[in-house]
Amino acid sequence: MKTLIHAIFIAFTLLLVTACSNSNSSTSSTVIHLNDNWKFSEASQNEWLSAKVPGCIHTDLLNHDLIDDPFYRLNEHDLQWIDKNDWEYKTSFIIDKSTFSKNRINITFGGLDTYADVYLNDELILKADNMFRGWTLNCKEHIKEGENTLRIYFHSPIKVGLELYDNYPYVVQSSANDLAKIGKVPGEKWVSPHVRKAPYMFGWDWGPRLVTSGIWEPISIKAWNTARLDNIHTIQNHITEQSAQLTSVFEVEANEANDATLSISIDGNILTSKKVNLKKGTHTYNVDFEIENPELWWSNGLGEAHLYQLKGELQTTAGIETFSHTLGIRSIELVRENDEVGRSFYFKLNGKPVFMKGANYIPNDVFLDRVSPEKYEHIIKSAADCHFNMLRVWGGGIYEKEIFYDLCDKYGILVWQDFMFACNMYPGHPEFLESVKHEAEYNVRRLRNHPSIALWCGNNEILGAWFGWGWKENNEKEQPHGAKAMWQAYKDIFLDVLPKAVEAHDPAKQYWASSPQAGDTIKTNKIDGDDHDWRIWFRDVPFITYHDGAARFVSEYGFQSFPELKTIKKYTIPEDYDINSEVMKSHQRSFIGNGAIKRYMDNYYRNPKDFESFLYVGLLLQAEGIRTGIEGHRINMPTTMGSLYWQLNDVWPAASWSSIDYFGNWKALQYFTRKAFSPIIAVPDTKTDDLLIYCVSDNFDDKQGRLELEIVDFEGNKLWSYQDEVKVKANTSSIIFKKPLKELLKGINTTNAVLSTKLFAEGELVYSTTSYFKEPMELNLPSPKLKVLTKKTDVGYEISISTDMLAKNVYLSFDEAEGWYSNNYFDLLPGETKTIIFETEENIEDYTSKLVVRTLNDTY
């Protein structure tokens, strides 16, 4: 009742303030969006064609059929001329008398890629040089009533980069991911470290080299008189079950000293207001408020990701300015404490230790304007549906668009946010450091209100590369001055500029200088800090190695696969259907990729009989490997408290480490993660002297459980069974079954036997899986007779599958329609029936006859 009376009083007070002012409650500013009627031309050619804004030069050329699809076959190699040219964009717009009469007119460029000279009515108003930041400037003296022209001249990032490279006193170390050879860069020079632009566009070991230019974020004009509300940062001071004490920091730019009222409303209800005396210029003003009995924001699987809608208002005699953001009330902490193993590395959410389950995330396309809201939703929802609670936004891409973080907020996905530095050393001259400073401040301020942001990380793998890849030693030998200068630049950027930006603008969050590392200048180890575990991919060790010596937090590890044939058909022709064809090799950017896949496949599977079978087995190989990694990390809980595999998604259709291909199709790995990341799992370890069953739970409470084990042969005959009551211990891993394998398997032909594991908690089946005592290549797989029934539904088709004998890794595919299978690549035990939903919006003729169903046995 007290809160209600207070809210009524505040509302009445605001009504009086409004009534006594010279303005009604309308907004005090005018906003004009400048995203239409653009044209582009190659510089100095004066051949203007319609352009899309936001967009980029490659997609504009593609939309006019001036280039072929860059992703198709070898077309990428023929399009390297585009980034060597300069390009121009122009538009015109009207400023009416009312807007022109405003005291202040600002123009904001959300993102210019990258070296851009901006002319307003033929006057130079901006020289942009950083893709990763926005630019706002007062254009009152350059704008006019009536028609105005806006022209942007984009300099070639390669030509500018070469000039910077050639005039720098030493060669700045880059990784082999700067594909200068494919880019036909003179001298194959590494220009990417000098250019503040998405590094992945210069090529990576999973992506093409397509270096864009263009207007990649919206442009707008805002005209206003007295003051504008530029930003609100809401700080969570103290949280209990009864109350959340918060402060919203209003950032206001005023043309002159003035009286104003600031107010805060939550979900449409006014909580507080405050009268302030605005000072001329840009200043901040604090407004404290309280939310009683707050609903907390929890990560996926632990509770609701509750979001409040906060709106702040600035009211002056000119009218009302508003700024809104979602508010998730939660605490997040990276815990670094000495323990019996070494030093911990785990996150506490709302005071609870949480094992982080997820993947590394890269941009969804080389051409950022092609990523639709629907694709963002599909990628983030897929992660949530597979029990992810964290994504690492990798430092070689972009600071993602707002929709990405909104979706992470909505689905309860925490974000490990890298700054955009990856696998390169960087220049350290004052102009570069100043640019990085503005970039960091801009993005920290832009993203800090999102409850999903868990950590700010300086860079990807630079510390590890300097001390572990031979960079330090090679540069000290070849260019001693350059080596010293590069290390100083590292310290200036990652130990000074970036942490200062976080401290100044988002002090509640923690900063981690490099991933991986054990400390700010200490390379990674297994007992302290985070780790990128690439033993499996690069060292040819068995997948089961993931169960040994897991680090405190594994923030990268992975294994490659090609996508399924349905995807490969979209960028190839049948003549390319060989992993050693020129097209397939060009869409395989890892220098060891095909060889590593083949070597591992030879260790686990029989030689596939044809190209399509090779793709299918490769998908299983990747899925089994990373499943083993996830399980290895989780059974090592709480010593290990994070498992983020490389990588979730793709920027183009190709061989990569992704679990979702470029077109949004789930690979086998994505289906396997849904099981491996389940809130409660029972992990059989059949590769030691004992059969061990580990129980792992993310829940905060113990549960009473029951374990059911059964060994059957591939024809369905029961060979052994066991069941017993077990305790599902809260938020940890424990062994719930142990028995010597020699004793257990006595008299059993292990080439013809499968272990079925089922775990119940509080009477509910929470986890089931199948395991084997031999590798797939050693199994004596039968030829099952599958019975497949289909039925049309409102969302697509229901598919019922049963079998007389073991059907290993049942795979469903349908090339003629886009859609999603609720389950795929699964084992089907003798006599078992599974029902799968194929979701599609397409109308299909003869679906049943065209549905392809395959098992591992079909690949021999």
SS3 track for 746-771: CCCCHHHEEEEEEEEECCEEEEEEEE
- Cα end-to-end span (Å), the chain: 74
Cα 11 to chain center, whole Å? 42
pLDDT of residue 27: 64
pLDDT for 12 beyond 60? no
Same domain, 684 and 670: no
Extended strands (E) in 34-98: 38-42, 49-51, 87-95
Same domain, 833 and 817: yes
Same domain, 589 and 493: yes
For a pLDDT cut of 90, what percent of the chain falls above it? 93
Q: Which two tokens stand for residue 474?
A: 């090679």
Q: Which residue has the tokens 């392809």?
A: 852
The parent domain of residue 272 ranges over: 2-24+226-317
Q: Is 172 part of any domain?
A: yes
Same domain, 426 and 519: yes
Q: Compute φ and ψ for 141, nearest 5 degrees.
A: -75, -15
Query: For position 411, which CATH number holds?
Result: 3.20.20.80
Same domain, 400 and 523: yes
Strands 718-728 and 703-713, sheet pairing: antiparallel
pTM, two decimal places: 0.94
Q: What is the dihedral of CA 446, 450, 456, 460, to 10 degrees?
A: -90
- Averaged pLDDT, 199-221: 97
Taking alpha carbons only, the member of 205, 207, 300 closest to residue 673 is: 300
Query: What is the rounded CA–CA span in Å between residue 697 and residue 384?
Result: 17
Extended strands (E) in 35-181: 38-42, 49-51, 87-95, 104-109, 112-113, 115-120, 123-128, 135-138, 146-155
pLDDT of residue 15: 34
Q: Is 541 part of any domain?
A: yes
Please tell me whether the peptide bond between 516 and the residue prior to it is cis, using omega within 30 degrees of 0: yes
Strands 453-457 and 414-418, sheet pairing: parallel
Same domain, 18 and 38: no
Query: What is the rounded CA–CA span in Å between residue 213 and residue 157?
Result: 8
Strands 732-740 and 690-697, sheet pairing: antiparallel
The per-residue b/e assignment along 802-833, b for 16 or more CB within 10 angstroms, e otherwise, is bbebbbbbbbbbbeeeebbbbbbbbbbbbeee
Same domain, 239 and 209: no
pLDDT for 8 beyond 90? no
pLDDT of residue 257: 93
Q: Is 38 part of any domain?
A: yes
- Which among 778, 809, 830 is the end of a domain? 778
pLDDT for 725 beyond 80? yes
Give the helix/strand (H/E) hosting 260.
strand 258-266
Q: How far is CA 133 from CA 113, 233, 433, in A?
A: 10, 18, 14
pLDDT for 1 beyond 90? no
Q: Is 715 part of any domain?
A: yes
Those residues whose C-beta lies under 8 Å from the C-beta of residue 123, and which sit 6 or more positions away, are: 142
Query: What is the rounded CA–CA span in Å between residue 645 and residue 560?
Result: 11
For a pLDDT cut of 70, what percent of the chain falls above it? 97
Query: What is the rounded CA–CA span in Å between residue 487 and residue 484?
Result: 5
Taking alpha carbons only, the member of 818, 823, 809, 860 closest to residue 841 is: 818
pLDDT band at 816 (very low <50, low <70, confident <90, very high): confident
pLDDT, one tens digit per residue, over 636-664 is 999 999 999 999 999 999 999 999 999 99
pLDDT, one tens digit per residue, over 419-444 is 999 999 999 999 999 999 999 999 99
Same domain, 14 and 54: no
pLDDT for 23 beyond 60? no
pLDDT for 11 beyond 90? no
- Averaged pLDDT, 166-186: 94
pLDDT of residue 846: 87
- Averaged pLDDT, 184-208: 97
Query: What is the rounded CA–CA span in Å between residue 820 and residue 641?
Result: 31
pLDDT, one tens digit per residue, over 791-815 is 999 999 999 999 999 999 999 999 8
pLDDT, one tens digit per residue, over 678-699 is 999 999 999 889 999 999 999 9
Q: How far is CA 617 from CA 164, 290, 381, 469, 838, in A?
A: 47, 57, 27, 33, 22
Q: Compute φ and ψ for 256, nearest 5 degrees.
A: -160, 165
Tally of domains in the chain: 5
pLDDT band at 466 (very low <50, low <70, confident <90, very high): very high
Query: For position 706, which CATH number holds?
Result: 2.60.40.10
Please tell me which residue, 459 or 549, carries the higher pLDDT value: 459
pLDDT of residue 19: 28
In one-letter notation, the amino acid at residue 482 is G
pLDDT band at 20 (very low <50, low <70, confident <90, very high): very low
Supply the angle between the helices 593-604 and 611-635 in degrees, to the nearest 10.
Answer: 80
Query: What is the rounded CA–CA span in Å between residue 602 and residue 611?
Result: 15
Sort residue 268 into left (φ over 0), alpha (ψ -120 to 50) or beta: left
Same domain, 408 and 503: yes
Give the helix/strand (H/E) hosting 694.
strand 690-697
Query: What is the rounded CA–CA span in Å between residue 283 and residue 299?
Result: 35
Same domain, 639 and 689: no
Q: Do residues 647 and 632 touch, judged by C-beta distance below 8 A?
A: no
User: Considering the chain, what is the average pLDDT of its residues?
Assistant: 95
pLDDT for 537 beyond 90? yes
Q: Is 29 part of any domain?
A: no
- Which among 269, 299, 317 is the end of a domain? 317
Q: Is 330 part of any domain?
A: no
pLDDT band at 549 (very low <50, low <70, confident <90, very high): confident
Q: Is 708 part of any domain?
A: yes
Query: For position 115, which CATH number holds?
Result: 2.60.120.260
Q: Which two tokens stand for residue 783?
A: 């030829």
pLDDT, one tens digit per residue, over 93-117 is 999 999 999 999 999 999 999 999 9
- Which among 743, 761, 778 is the end of a domain? 778
Q: Do residues 416 and 641 touch, judged by C-beta distance below 8 A?
A: no
Q: Is 498 part of any domain?
A: yes
pLDDT, one tens digit per residue, over 214-246 is 999 999 999 999 999 999 999 999 999 999 999
pLDDT of residue 176: 84
pLDDT for 14 beyond 90? no
pLDDT for 341 beyond 90? yes
pLDDT band at 555 (very low <50, low <70, confident <90, very high): very high
Same domain, 644 and 720: no
Same domain, 532 and 414: yes
pLDDT, one tens digit per residue, over 668-678 is 999 999 999 99
Q: How far is CA 155 from CA 113, 114, 127, 152, 748, in A?
A: 10, 8, 11, 10, 71
pLDDT, one tens digit per residue, over 383-393 is 999 999 999 99
Query: What is the rounded CA–CA span in Å between residue 132 and residue 517?
Result: 25
pLDDT for 135 beyond 50? yes
